[in-house]
Chains A and B, each alone.
Chain A
Amino acid sequence: MKSATTARITAPGDVTSFNLGLALPLGVAFAIFFVLPLAQLLYLSLHNDTAATVWGLGQYIKFLTDPFSLAVLGSTLLLGAEVTLACLVLGYPIAWLYQRSGSRLQTLIIMIVLLPLLTSVVVRTFAWIVILGRQGIINSVLQSLGLIGTPLRMIYTQGGLVAALAQVQMPLMVLPLITAIGRIDPNLSDASASLGAGSWRTFFKVMLPLSMPGIIAGCTLTYAAAITAFITQSLVGGGQMLFMPMYLYQQASTLQNWPFAAAISIIFLFAVLAIVALFSTLGRRARGYGDAR
């Protein structure tokens, strides 16, 4: 404490070392509980046999040459893309509405948006099973209205899963969008209109590019959350659809093939990182990224 105070007095410009000191507790926790296990995972994945005694790239070769594994990876990334798109398309109007509402309506919108985060993921997921099931709310309503004869198959379908995941991840999309849209000067859309641009032109030429930072942040968060949502994927998706988290779980827990599970983790990690990198590159490409910081 004393030395820190002294350092501040003698060298007021040098605050870097002081700040690093403050970051130390988190840094240590991060190293022990994140970097170390990750390194262990990498170490494990570089072995050819289940007992992890023979070094080699066998697990990676196995995954990347196996059509089944690649299909699981592909469908997981596709699921993420679908959920992200659904959140963006449904979330943008909500964020837009929020910025144009009075304070009371704003509170209500925020409450509704945040509600999924305040309930347990298991409860939320079972709620979706109740809603989407064969004898679920939607089917019984449609049947009693005479709109359908036999129940629709919604649970255990990709569509049902996307809907459930989109609802759960919606706050991750809407909150960054609200921030980004709120930073746009309202005069800009008036200026655009006065210069002769219609509402669609104003939206695509002014509002959308300027809300890009929020779109990028929202998409990144939603995507990462959707593809790793183990519980929702398993319960709403059911047994027929296999995604990376479940695949990984089966390999590690059921088959006890730890090196292969580790390799799946590493591949999955890099696939996600690649997508995130792609998002932020797109964001930097879209001009205005630097403005609405």
Chain B
Amino acid sequence: MASVSEAKSLVLDRITHRFASGTMAVSDINLDVKGGEIIALLGPSGCGKTTLLRIIAGFIGQSEGRVLIGNDVVDALPPNRRAVGIVFQNYALFPHLSISENVGYGLAARGVDKTTRNKEAQRLLDMVQLGPFGERLPRQWSGGQQQRVALARALAIKPSILLLDEPFAALDKNLRLDMQIEVKRLQRMAGTTTLIVTHDQEEALSLADRVAVLSHGHLEQFGTPSEIYDRPQTLFVNTFVGTANRLKGTVMATDAGEVKVALEAGGEIVARAPKPVTASNKVTVCLRPEHLAFVSDGSGFAGEIGMALPLGATVVHEIKTKDGSSIKISQARTGDTPLREAGAPVRVAPLAPGLATVFPE
């Protein structure tokens, strides 16, 4: 089995793809994936993440740019010579072949003899905890089990890159968490550089070493889960990953990446500016519900309680601001967290100055 040190890197160099109809699928995507990393391609449907996956696998030839696997340009190689393992969203197991033959399929294509093939298939089935059932046909299995087989089949060819296309979307919630843990365990064991395509931000943030957020074919941000969540670079990332309250305002003063903004809802807040803004710019301020607190001094901005939602571990209050926008504030629930009455006047401020982010309009 490939150890982590042998794992191959993956570089997407200015990948652009237009469909035959002329629509731009992905535009100028640069990704530099280190050997052994798990990367999530995160974005809503239609953002180009599946196109990117199919380009890496070789099913689609990109219009421009290069794909490098372990420093080799693979653009001229057909899918069957790229050694890229794929787990499809619907698993795509061969229905007429047994579990064991499915896992051994890639080895058979490489001319490995039957004895070695069966032994290797058995080893992989043991690894995904389906050891004793190699003779059965795929349709006799549940979704989670089929996924394990698909994973074992993809790993059997010792792929340089493993691609997972929405791997957990078809599983129910409880099974999903188990399979996420399982995939991470197997990926660590095999040390294979892995790309997961997903629209589920929790999945991306929990599984991946780094997350690439895509929107409309553009790479919005590529960074660690905490960078993505805590220091979003674009308004899209800020609102797509996690939840964010959006408030309108005008820049009053700027100072080394921190800006002071006058909110249309009244009051002023100090916020971080990932993109340069200058005084008197109209901006959108993003504030995460969990980064807000009720204050009794004059800081922050005023509003009145719209609705109180006790959601178990957290309590969420909806607040109507003076300019008519509605924002949410979420607090960890302690024994005596009060539920506030609708209509009660409150003041709200960020827990710390850097937690608000401004984006130019």
Name A residues whose Cβ lies closer than 8 Å to a Cβ of B. Answer: 185, 187-188, 190-198, 201, 205-206, 209-210, 287-288, 291-292
- Residues from chain A with a CB closer than 8 A to the CB of B78 are 193
Bound state CA distance, A185 and B146, in angstroms? Answer: 15
- Residues from chain B with a CB closer than 8 A to the CB of A292 are 95
Bound state CA distance, A287 and B137, in angstroms? Answer: 11
Instruction: Assess A194 versus B95: contact at CB under 8 Å? Given A201-B109, A291-B139.
Output: no
A187 touches B96 (CB 8 A): no
- Residues from chain B with a CB closer than 8 A to the CB of A205 are 94, 105
A192 touches B105 (CB 8 A): yes
- Residues from chain A with a CB closer than 8 A to the CB of B106 are 195-197
- Residues from chain A with a CB closer than 8 A to the CB of B84 are 194
- Residues from chain A with a CB closer than 8 A to the CB of B153 are 191, 195
B33-41, B85-93, B189-197, B330-338: which lies at the interface: B85-93
Within the complex, which residue of A197, A198, A288 is in contact with B105, where a contact is CB–CB below 8 Å? Answer: A197
Name B residues whose Cβ lies closer than 8 Å to a Cβ of A. Answer: 57-59, 78-86, 88, 90, 92-97, 105-106, 109-110, 137, 139, 153-154, 156-157
- Residues from chain A with a CB closer than 8 A to the CB of B154 are 194-195
Within the complex, which residue of B79, B96, B110 is in contact with A194, where a contact is CB–CB below 8 Å? Answer: B79
Bound state CA distance, A292 and B93, in angstroms? Answer: 13
B109 touches A196 (CB 8 A): yes
Bound state CA distance, A230 and B266, in angstroms? Answer: 93
- Some 17 contacts from A to B, beta carbons below 8 A apart, are A190-B79, A191-B86, A191-B94, A192-B109, A193-B79, A194-B58, A194-B80, A194-B86, A195-B106, A197-B80, A197-B106, A198-B80, A198-B109, A205-B105, A210-B96, A291-B96, A291-B137
Bound state CA distance, A287 and B157, in angstroms? Answer: 24
A21 to chain B, nearest CB (A): 35
B90 touches A187 (CB 8 A): yes
Inter-chain pairs besides A187-B92, A191-B93, A291-B96, 15 sampled, C-beta below 8 Å? A187-B88, A194-B57, A194-B58, A195-B85, A195-B106, A195-B109, A195-B156, A196-B80, A196-B81, A196-B83, A196-B109, A197-B106, A197-B109, A198-B80, A291-B95
Bound state CA distance, A292 and B94, in angstroms? Answer: 11
Within the complex, which residue of A190, A196, A288 is in contact with B92, where a contact is CB–CB below 8 Å? Answer: A190
A193 to chain B, nearest CB (A): 4
Instruction: Assess A188 versus B81: contact at CB under 8 Å? Given A195-B105, A201-B109.
Output: no
- Looking at B84, B96, B153, B157, the one whose CB has the most chain A CB atoms below 10 A away is B96
Instruction: Assess A190 versus B105: contact at CB under 8 Å? Given A196-B110, A210-B96.
Output: no
**4 tightest A-B CB contacts, nearest first:** A288-B96, A195-B106, A187-B92, A291-B95
- Residues from chain B with a CB closer than 8 A to the CB of A190 are 57, 59, 79, 86, 88, 92
- Residues from chain B with a CB closer than 8 A to the CB of A198 are 80, 109
**Nearest chain B residue, comparing its CB with the CB of A210:** B96
- Residues from chain A with a CB closer than 8 A to the CB of B156 are 195
- Residues from chain A with a CB closer than 8 A to the CB of B93 are 191
Bound state CA distance, A210 and B137, in angstroms? Answer: 14
